Chains A and B, each alone.
Chain A
Amino acid sequence: DTGVSQNPRHKITKRGQNVTFRCDPISEHNRLYWYRQTLGQGPEFLTYFQNEAQLEKSRLLSDRFSAERPKGSFSTLEIQRTEQGDSAMYLCASSTPNQPQHFGDGTRLSIL
């Protein structure tokens, strides 16, 4: 059990650029979640997958955001045309159904 892995750990980009983050869940976990956390706040839910199916999306997830989990293993979160307000820590978590979620180390996004 190597835990949830996220890459990159840090991403600095200019406003208007596209960015993509990757999450590798714990191997036996079929559920994968994305959250966003800004300074002084708790994590906010963005979306989650059960295997390759995306089952729920938050209204926080604007049209510029897209997430995939093509083979039910790793997942990617892409943000197009980044804005200043996208600066945050993006957290991935995984679990099996009805079990606690375990988080990766996160990807910190900074928009210049």
Chain B
Amino acid sequence: QKEVEQNSGPLSVPEGAIASLNCTYSDRGSQSFFWYRQYSGKSPELIMFIYSNGDKEDGRFTAQLNKASQYVSLLIRDSQPSDSATYLCAVRGTDKLIFGTGTRLQVFP
């Protein structure tokens, strides 16, 4: 079992819809969770982080964490074509980040 698992996609949504990206992790003791966006050929860019159970909202983005079920999700409201990218879920283990393989999101006009 991989430590951090994501569906590789692609996830295709129409412009204006809500995109829902999911991630599960294996280490029950994990405390810190991150979502990075990565455009093709570029480096990861931090968009959200969450440490406590529940929801955390920042603009069009909402991160959701459920430690009992060991999953973390990212919702993108009012999706735009510019949101098309790969979204990487990461979990902090000791001090390093452990990444999933990423989910490719495609937002079509």
Contact = CB atoms under 8 A, between A and B. Distances in A.
Do the two shown chains form a genuine complex with each other?
yes
Interface of A: 31, 33, 35, 40-45, 48, 55-56, 58, 89, 91, 93, 97-98, 100-106
Interface in B22-67: 32, 34, 36, 42-46, 49
B17 to A, nearest CB: 25
Given A100-B34, A100-B49, A45 B43 contact: no
A104 B88 CA distance: 16
Given A100-B46, A103-B43, A40 B101 contact: yes
Contacts of B49: 100
B94 interface: yes
Given A43-B99, A56-B96, A104 B34 contact: no
Contacts of A97: 95
B90 A42 contact: yes
Contacts of A100: 34, 46, 49
